[in-house]
Every structure is written in structure tokens, then in C-alpha cells.
Amino acid sequence: MLIIKSVEELMNVAFRVKSNGKSVGLVPTMGALHAGHVSLLQKARQENEVVVCSIFVNPVQFNHTEDFEKYPRVLEHDMSLIADIADILFIPSEKEIYPTPPTEQYHFGFLETVMEGAARPGHFNGVATIVKRLLDWITPDKAYFGEKDYQQLLIIRQLVKDYKLNVQIVPCPIVREANGLAMSSRNTRLSPEALNKAGLIHRVLSLSTQAIHYPVEQIKQLVIKELNDVPEFEVEYFEIADATTLQPVTDMNTPESVMGFIALHVEGVRLIDNIKYK
């Protein structure tokens, strides 16, 4: 695995690889890699001749300095996990990515006004800033994103559409722990008891799909109550929305595809997950 720290070298290597007619798959990450990231990398491996993984804890997508500082940084572990899958690992410093404070302003309309967009002002602008720069520097054929961050996936698709970027965005299914908890780098901050209890999130969401014929408001209240009944849990939002536009759904029959989206705090750690209703 070739390790690259400078943008200049990254651009040179990417240019050479593409000039040789090789296909390139990019998996952008913030590190603290787990089986979810590995599944993205494996898919990239299957579909491309050259796989690039980036690890950069992007300061401008965090709303709280404390959250940024607490974000796990475990490079040795990450490298051992991906050494056999990725060809190139890009691990830039903050100065390398942002020699001067970034000023990009992206607009995603309704998509950025709800759920994660509403709860974390500026978050998606920060995500778009780093993703757009990586896509411009590497010009991959495909880039891989997990469906756990479903709203992020839609935002990135919108970015690609708005800027007419020549890249295919490949969504990858959520990878779960044995108890159903969606894999996340933040899970490492949970106690073993909380990790255990957090399996309930997916169980409750899955059960709620059986209530698809109930009124939407009733399904929402059921999910919120079930989870808030656990003392360590505090639901921040649970929304049922059109999977394409994220517009709230009042009648399950109307949109073609409907999903439920949750954010909750478990022992003070903020987790998100989602479920497909139809």
C-alpha cells in the first residue's frame, strides 16, 4: 500500500494511474475503521483496478470542538485493517487539506434543512467541502459511501449532479454488529453494557416495519417511546420520510420509497441509524 501525505503527490499518482487507463475507486473515511468501512473497500476492490482510501478527520464538519477532539485516531489499527485491500492510502495533515481556512459554500436546498442538517448546522457544508476537494484531486471513476449516513449520501449525489462531476457514487448497505447495532466509529465510546443495549435500536426499527399500515404519527410515537423507555437512551429525532427527497411522509402509500431515520444519544454518544419501510 502506497502511503501519500501530500496533495501534490496524490494528484500526480492519480493522474499517472488514470493515464494508464486504470479505473480508480475512492473510499473517503475519517479513520477508526471497522467492518463497515472494510465492506466499502472490498466493493471498491471488486469494481476497480486501483483502490484509494483516504483517512482525514475533517475539522470543518464537526459542530463541537469536543466531538472533533474525541474522535478516535487509530492509524496503526486502520492501516493493518486495509493493507491488503487498498492500493493507496491518503493521510494528509490539516494544513495540507486546508492551507487557509476553507470558504466554500454549498447549498443543497431542502435536503440540508432536515434531520442531520437541522441538528448539525454547517455539517454538510463541511462534508461537501472535503468530498469535493478529494473528488477533484483524485478524479475517481467511483466513490463509495455507506447507507448509515443516508442523508450524507443524498447530499453527495446532489453535489455530483450540481457540479457535473464525472464520478459514480456507489451506496453500500449498513453493516451491523451481531446484535443489530449499526457499525460506527463512535461505538468505541460506548460501555459494554450500552453496546449491548444499543442492539435495541435496530430491533425497534425493524419491528416498526410491521406496523407500516398504522398511521405514520403512531409509528413515530411507538418507536420514540420504546427507545426513550431505556434510561440510557434519549431520542433526538425519529422521522419517516420520502427516501428520495427526505420530505416528511404523512401517508405511507404516497411516495414510492419510504425510510425511517433516527438520531439518539446513548450514554451521551450520538448515534444514527435508518430503516427501509418500502
The binding site for ligand PAF (CB under 6 A) comprises 28-30, 58, 61, 127, 130-131, 149, 152
Strand ranges of the sheet holding 269-276, from the earlier edge strand across to the other edge = 233-242, 258-266, 269-276
Task: Please say which residue, 120 or 202, places its beta carbon nearer to ligand PAF.
Answer: 120
* Residue 131 beta carbon to ligand PAF: minimum distance, rounded to whole angstroms: 6
Catalytic residue among 34, 37, 64, 213: 37
Q: Which residues contact 219 (CB under 8 A, 6 or more apart)?
A: 208, 211, 212, 240, 260
Intra-chain end-to-end CA distance of the chain, in Å: 41
The least CB distance from residue 271 to ligand PAF, in Å, is 14
DSSP conformation letters of 184-205: -GGGGGS-HHHHHHTHHHHHHH
Residues shown for the chain: 278
Measured from the CB atom, the residue of 61 and 208 that comes closer to ligand PAF is 61
204/262 with CB nearer ligand PAF: 262
Cell numbers at 76, concatenated:
496503526
Provide the sign of the torsion angle of the four alpha carbons 131, 106, 259, 190, taken in this order.
Answer: positive
| C-alpha to C-alpha distances, 221 to 217, 238, 250, nearest whole angstrom | 6, 9, 13
Q: How far is the CB of 96 from ligand PAF (least distance, A)?
A: 15
As measured in angstroms, the least distance from the Cβ of 115 to ligand PAF is 15
Alpha carbon 142 to its chain centroid, in Å, reads: 16
For residue 37, indicate whether it is catalytic.
Answer: yes
CB of 270 to ligand PAF, least distance (A): 14
Nearer CB in complex with ligand PAF: 48/54: 54
Q: Which residues pair with 158 in a beta bridge?
A: none
127 vs 216 by CB, closer to ligand PAF: 127
- Residue listed under C-alpha cell 473510499: 27
Three-state SS for 212-233 is CCCCHHHHHHHHHHHHHCCCCE
Q: Cite the active site residues.
A: 37
